[in-house]
Amino acid sequence: MVPVSTHTAAPTEGVPSPPGAFIQDRLAGWVSDLTTLHELTERLAGTATLDSALHELLRAGATLVGSGRGLVVLEPSDGRGPTRTIGLGLTHADLGHIETVSRGATAYGRFLDGLPDTEGPRATPDIPGGAGLDPRSREVAARLGYAADYTQPLATETAGRLGAAVWLYDEPAEPLERQRHLVGAYARYAAEHLARLLELERARADAAVIAEELFPSRLPRIPGVRLAARRRAGSEGGGDWYDALSLPDSALGLAVGSVGGSGPAAMAATGRLRAGLRAYAVMEGEDPVAVLSDLELLLRLTEAGGAATALYAYCEPDRHTLLLAGAGHTPPLVTGERRTEFVETGLSAPLGMLSCWEAPSVEITVRPGETVLLYTDGLLHRTGDTTDRAFARLRSAAAGVPKALRQDPGAVADHILRAVLPDGAGRSDDTEDIALLAVRFD
């Protein structure tokens, strides 16, 4: 038997309460932070371009550190670019004022310049009252109405310094330790994502430069005709091309074509085919079938298993005639005030698909004031319609060119692109190339 006391014990003082509530609060806070971080990184992972990723980085960082304004500067330390300065809640004029502050006087500028002891984040909690700050920094802060900033470097082990993000506060303040931890974890993920997008943008820029070298630097000028060319490159660097060259007796060689595939291999094949066609046009320009037959042989020798389409036309401006042949290519379109119709070039498989390429040539006579359009099938594919509907859409766009624009082949080409493509000029992320060559006869 255990005796029970009838006296009530006095409350014990100085003994802490059970830690259960405290631990639960901490756990709830960690779960909330992890959920927020997961959501923000998921949104960042969904960005596909540098600009969109930088904008998302700024917005997410502002949420994490409790700020409403900021800027991010992309400036890779390898010096290869590209560079960007993007603001959140700041105008271009505001960014210009901030850039007037000496880089050595800013935490992000010192980091980007690789100065010692600038690797970690930096806070300036009280710009108006802080000691030792650059006078210009105070002046710009007062002008733009911010009193504190927080700088988060962006870097990876492999890519090195990429840039820095700066968030601004309207009153003296600085992030809490928890906020610093969250934005630091987010910035590490963001830097890796930016490094991948940076390499992708550089590769696209290099491909664009190479692609431009595959096209004529300028179109020939021959009495009796005027030429204009338009090209819309796909995001993956496809193999659509065009060419125009002067031939003896004031004639012209005109060509468009498309190589299967995309990327560097397609561009290399494009360069070889275009160079070969130029040589064959000089030797056998009056016979389009012979030109394309030689091109078929070249494709078989240099692109084993490859396929391509091409259309070549021998143009005599003084006679207003085109003698042309196609190899699996889309038919030309003749448009003017009295007619808009496709030219039937005869059936033929693409280059590389037959043991011996041969298709009959077709001669057409073009009336003064009419324009002949040579184009690649990317123009049809980008419409998103079926083949028949895409051809009808192209014909309708050509027939609807205003009379005032028909004198200029460039204006005709621009009008058709705007009318045919669903988004007007075409999206930069579309994988389909477009090559369009407009030939107007005076």
Per DSSP, the residues of 89-114 read S--HHHHHHHHTS-GGGSHHHHHHTT
Instruction: Say whether pLDDT at 127 is over 90.
Output: yes
CATH code of the domain in which 278 resides: 3.60.40.10
Q: Comparing C-alpha atoms, which of 223, 110, 129 is closest to residue 171?
A: 129
Residue where one domain finishes, among candidates 186, 207, 228? 207
> Residues 301, 437: one domain?
yes
Instruction: Say whether pLDDT at 4 is over 50.
Output: no
Tell me, what's the pLDDT at 345? Answer: 75
Q: Which residue has the tokens 């009959």?
A: 360
> Residues 410, 391: one domain?
yes
First to last CA, the chain: 122
Tell me, what's the pLDDT at 151? Answer: 96
Structure confidence at residue 2 as a pLDDT band (50, 70, 90): very low
Tell me, what's the pLDDT at 13? Answer: 57
Average of per-residue pLDDT across 224-250: 85
**Higher model confidence: residue 93 or residue 344?**
93
Residue where one domain finishes, among candidates 143, 172, 207? 207
Domain contains 5: no
Domain count across the chain: 2
Q: Which residue has the tokens 């060259």?
A: 245
> Residues 119, 260: one domain?
no
What are the structure tokens assigned to 369, written together? Answer: 């004031």
> Residues 176, 117: one domain?
yes
Domain contains 55: yes
- Helix or strand (DSSP H, E) at 257: strand 251-262
> Cα–Cα distance between 110 and 57 in angstroms, integer?
21
**Higher model confidence: residue 218 or residue 8?**
218
> Residues 114, 228: one domain?
no
Domain contains 51: yes
> Cα–Cα distance between 339 and 41 in angstroms, integer?
56
Domain contains 108: yes
Which region holds residue 117: left if phi is over 0, alpha if psi is between -120 and 50, else beta?
A: left
Tell me, what's the pLDDT at 305? Answer: 64
Average of per-residue pLDDT across 341-362: 74
**Higher model confidence: residue 161 or residue 275?**
161
- pLDDT mean across residues, the chain: 86
> Residues 200, 219: one domain?
no
Tell me, what's the pLDDT at 35? Answer: 87
Domain span at 247: 214-441
> Residues 265, 363: one domain?
yes
> Residues 220, 201: one domain?
no
Q: Comparing C-alpha atoms, which of 255, 405, 322 is closest to residue 417?
A: 405
Domain contains 379: yes
Lowest mean pLDDT among 55-69, 122-136, 265-279, 328-342: 265-279
Average of per-residue pLDDT across 74-87: 93
Percent of the chain with pLDDT over 90: 54
> Residues 198, 305: one domain?
no
**Higher model confidence: residue 266 or residue 416?**
416
Residue where one domain finishes, among candidates 150, 181, 207? 207
Domain contains 109: yes
Lowest mean pLDDT among 119-133, 249-263, 351-365: 351-365
> Residues 152, 256: one domain?
no
CATH code of the domain in which 80 resides: 3.30.450.40
Domain contains 344: yes
What are the structure tokens assigned to 429, written together? Answer: 């992320």
Domain contains 29: no
